[in-house]
Amino acid sequence: MSVNQKLTRAQFDEVMVPNYAPSAVIPVRGEGSRVWDQEGKEFVDFAGGIAVNCLGHCHPALVGALKEQGEKIWHLANVMTNEPALALATKLVEATFAEKVYFANSGAEANEAALKLARRYAQDKFGPEKDQIIAFDKAFHGRTFFTVSVGGQAAYSDGFGPKPESITHLPFNDIAALEAEVSDKTCAIMLEPLQGEGGIIDADPEFLHAVRALADKHNALVVFDEVQTGVGRLGELYAYMRTEVTPDILTTAKALGGGFPIAAMLTTTEIASHLKIGTHGSTYGGNPLACAIGNAVLDVVNTPEVLEGVKRREQLLRDGLNQINEKYNVFTEVRGQGLLLGAVLNEQYQGRAKDFLVAGIGEGLMSLVAGPNVIRFTPSLVIPEADIAEGLARFERAVAKVVAG
C-alpha cells in the first residue's frame, strides 16, 4: 500500500478479525466534545469512547502530560517502580477507602486481578472449599474467560469450552435470592453499582446494604466493578461514595486514563497481602506513560468544579431527553445517574436501539446502546453546555427520522 493511499472501512474487512462491525465513519480528529471524520463531517460526541474520554478529546492537561512523560521514560519492567505510578497510587489511596493499588491495562485485567485475589484470600484464610463467586444477571465484567464467565450474559461466555467453576448468577437487586444463596462457601460478591452494558440499571440502596451485611456474615469480600461508573462519571470520584456501602475491592479503568489504556484494582492492606510476590503480574501494569496521564486525569476530575458540573450536565441532558420524548413518545424512562444515562425504548420500539444510534450518526451525533432496548449516553464530564444543546438537537432529528420510518 502506498503512503498516500486512503485508508477505508473496506480494509477493515480485509485485514481485521471480524469480531467487530464498525460503522462506515472513520474519525480522524477530535477536540473537546467534537469529532471530525475523513470527509470533514463534524459529530457531537455523546459516547465518549464508552465512558472513557472523561475530559473529551485532546484535553490540554492530558496532551501535556503525555508529551512531558514521553520525553522522560516510556516503560520499565515491574522489577523496578517509577515515579508516575507511585504518584498515581498515592492519589488513589488518599482519595478512596483503599490502602493498596495494583495497576493493569484494562477493566477486564483489573477484574481478573480482583477475582484472583478474592479466591486467593479465601483459600489462604478459610481453605479451598470457600471458592463461590456470586455475580448478577446482565452484569458485564470484561472479556477474559474468567471475567466473561463471572459476567451475567451467557451470549458472551458460551462457545469457548468448559467455564470456570463455582460461579453463581442471581437476579440483580433481588435480596431474597441473595439471602438464599450466600453461604460460608461464598468467597466474593461482585457487582456494578450501576449496571452499564446490562441496560443502565441502578443498584437499590437496600440491595447494596444486604450485599455488605451478608458478605460480612459469611466472611466474603464485596467487589465493586467501577470500570464504567468510576472517575467522576456519576458525580462522585467513585460511585460507592454515593452510597453508605464500602467495598473490599474496587476496580477502575476506562476514564482513569481519559483515553490512554490504564486500570487499577484498589483494596486494603490486609487483603492485598495475599497477592504475594509472583502470584500475579502484568507487563504493562504501572506503565509510566499511562500513569502520568492518569495523574493528570485525577488532578482535573477530582475537583468540586468538575464533579458538581457532572450533576448540572446530567440535569440538562435528562431534561432534554424528556422533552424529546414528550414530542415523540419513544421512551418509557430516562434512567441512570450522572453522565451515565439510558433512554429506555417503549414497547413500540423494542429491539431498535441501534436504529436510533445509526440515525444519530447520520445527524452528526455519536451515542451508544446498552442492549437492544436502551440508548446510552456517556459524554465527557466537562462537555460544554452548548454542545449538550447541539447534541440534543441532532438526536431529536434522529428520533424524528426513526419515528417517521
Q: Read off φ and ψ for residue 346, nearest 5 degrees.
A: -80, 180
- Inform me whether the pLDDT recorded for 88 exceeds 70: yes
116 located within any domain: yes
Q: State residue 405's pLDDT score.
A: 87
The residues that bridge with 344 in the sheet, in sequence order, are 333, 374
Known binding residues for N(2)-acetyl-L-ornithine are: 143, 282
Read off the pLDDT of each residue in 231-257 and give the average, rounded to a whole number: 98
Give the structural domain span for 360: 9-58+304-404
Told to judge if 140 belongs to the known catalytic residues of this protein, a careful annotator would answer yes
Q: Which SS3 state, helix, strand or coil, does residue 368 take? A: strand
Closest CA to 343 of 352, 329, 333, 356: 333
- Could you tell me if residue 322 is left (phi over 0), alpha (psi between -120 and 50 degrees) or otherwise beta? alpha
Q: Which SS3 state, helix, strand or coil, does residue 214 take? A: helix
Query: What is d(CA 252, CA 290) in angstroms, rounded to the nearest whole number?
Result: 14
> Does 107 share its domain with 238?
yes
Confidence band for 29, pLDDT divided at 50, 70 and 90: very high
Q: State residue 58's pLDDT score.
A: 98
- The residue assigned the cell 465493586 is 224
> Does 265 share its domain with 331?
no
Confidence band for 225, pLDDT divided at 50, 70 and 90: very high
Known binding residues are: 107-108, 140, 143, 225-228, 282-283
Told to judge if 331 belongs to the known catalytic residues of this protein, a careful annotator would answer no
Q: Which of 277, 301, 325 is the last residue of a domain?
A: 301
Average pLDDT score over the chain: 96
- Inform me whether the pLDDT recorded for 267 exceeds 90: yes
Residue 152 amino acid letter: G
Closest CA to 393 of 352, 364, 356: 364
Per-residue pLDDT tens over the stretch 165-205: 999 999 999 999 999 999 999 999 999 999 999 999 999 99
Told to judge if 225 belongs to the known catalytic residues of this protein, a careful annotator would answer yes
Residue 197 belongs to domain with CATH number = 3.40.640.10
Question: Cβ contacts of residue 297 below 8 Å, gap of 6+?
Answer: 54, 55, 62, 231, 255, 256, 257, 258
Confidence band for 52, pLDDT divided at 50, 70 and 90: very high
Render the burial of 158-189: b for 16+ CB within 10 Å, e for the rest.
eeeeeebeebbbbebbbbebbeebbeebbbbb
Query: What is d(CA 88, CA 231) in angstroms, rounded to the nearest whole number?
Result: 13
Q: Which of 273, 301, 329 is the last residue of a domain?
A: 301
89 located within any domain: yes
- Inform me whether the pLDDT recorded for 33 exceeds 90: yes
- Inform me whether the pLDDT recorded for 95 exceeds 80: yes
Per-residue pLDDT tens over the stretch 336-366: 999 999 999 999 999 999 999 999 999 999 9
CA distances from residue 64 to 11, 53, 58, 68, 70 in whole angstroms, order as listed: 33, 16, 9, 6, 10
**Active-site position among 46, 140, 146, 224:** 140
Residue 20 belongs to domain with CATH number = 3.90.1150.10
> Does 109 share its domain with 238?
yes
Read off the pLDDT of each residue in 223-233 and give the average, rounded to a whole number: 98
Confidence band for 6, pLDDT divided at 50, 70 and 90: confident
> Does 291 share its domain with 335?
no
Confidence band for 73, pLDDT divided at 50, 70 and 90: very high
Q: State residue 4's pLDDT score.
A: 58
Residues, the chain, total? Answer: 405
- Inform me whether the pLDDT recorded for 5 exceeds 90: no
Instruction: Determine contact, residues 396/325, Cβ cutoff 8 Å.
Output: no
2 located within any domain: no
68 located within any domain: no
> Does 185 share its domain with 334?
no
Query: What is d(CA 73, CA 397) in angstroms, rounded to the nearest whole number?
Result: 48
DSSP element (H, E) containing 43: strand 42-45
> Does 99 share its domain with 247?
yes
Closest CA to 256 of 55, 47, 90, 22: 55
Q: Which of 249, 271, 301 is the last residue of a domain?
A: 301
> Does 88 share its domain with 176?
yes
> Does 140 share its domain with 170?
yes
Query: What is d(CA 141, CA 198) in angstroms, rounded to the nearest whole number?
Result: 11
Percent of the chain with pLDDT over 90: 95
**Active-site position among 43, 138, 254, 331:** 254
179 located within any domain: yes
Per-residue pLDDT tens over the stretch 12-21: 999 999 999 8
Q: Which SS3 state, helix, strand or coil, does residue 22 take? A: coil
- Inform me whether the pLDDT recorded for 206 exceeds 70: yes
Read off the pLDDT of each residue in 246-250 and give the average, rounded to a whole number: 98
279 located within any domain: yes
**Active-site position among 45, 131, 202, 225:** 225
Q: How many domains does the chain have?
A: 2
> Does 150 share its domain with 209?
yes
> Does 176 share its domain with 236?
yes
1 located within any domain: no
294 located within any domain: yes
Query: What is d(CA 194, CA 235) in angstroms, rounded to the nearest whole number?
Result: 13
